[in-house]
Each structure stands twice: as structure tokens, then as C-alpha cells.
Amino acid sequence: MARVRSQTRRQGAFNPGKITLGNTTLDVEAAEVQAGNTISLSPKEARLLRYFMKNAGKSLDENSVFRHLGEEGETEDQDEVWLYVNYLKRKLASVQSDLTVEGQRGGPYRLVHGGVNTYGSH
């Protein structure tokens, strides 16, 4: 029983239902992000934001972001990374998040915390 409880705790730690950073909460299961208000995310946007939030402040190259964007067996064009990063920037700004994604096409990308996010100012 102790092993089962331990395994359950570990799974919760590695795959939390909600992740909070700054004023922003990502509900992984519902694929919603909330700060000043709430907005729905596509499954890819939710996976991408989860990856960024777990690696906040770290410089992430385009290949690592690309691997976390798609699902197993799915073929993507790496240009989609830039597209989804921009979708995420806009959605973070729309909920008045104090998080934003920095970076240019081709990476590296970095989720930063601080200040009110206004799309296009970072």
C-alpha cells in the first residue's frame, strides 16, 4: 500500500492538474489559463504553456519546444512553434497575465514573470 501511495504522490507531483506562476494559473485538464480573467486554450497551447511554466526563466531552444508541442507520431512543421508561441503571447495578454514568452522566430524562447503582459511589448 505504501508503494501505491508513493506512486500516486509522484504522479501528482509530475503531472499536476493546476500550475500557478505569478498571477497566472493553468488548469491542465480543462485547458484553461486564468489571471485577470479566464480563456480556453487548444490542447497544443496548453501543452506548450505547461512546458514553459515548468521551465520558467530558462532559455529553451526551438527543437525542445517543438518536441513538447506535438503529440507522439504527429508530424509538425517547426514554423508551427512560432505560430503557437504567438497564440500563447496573445492569450496571456488577453487574460492580463504577468507572464510573457520572449524570443524571436527560431528561438530560443523564455517564459518570464513580471509586469503586466501587453502583447507586442516584449
31-55 average pLDDT score: 93
Q: Which of 22, 12, 13 is nearest to 99 (CA)?
A: 22
Any domain includes 5: no
- Assess whether pLDDT exceeds 60 at residue 53: yes
The answer to whether residue 21 sits within a structural domain is yes
Long-range pairs for 79-83 at CB < 8 Å and ≥24 separation?
81/107, 82/106
What phi, psi does 25 have (nearest 5°)?
Answer: -120, 130
Number of domains in the chain: 1
Q: Residue range 102-120: average pLDDT?
A: 76
In a domain, residue 39? The reply is yes
Q: What is the CATH number of the domain that holds 51?
A: 1.10.10.10
pTM here is: 0.76
> Which three cell numbers, joined as nine digits, stand for 61?
531552444
SS3 109: strand
For residues 92 and 77, what is the distance between their CA atoms, to the nearest angstrom?
A: 23
The residue range of the domain holding 43 is 16-113
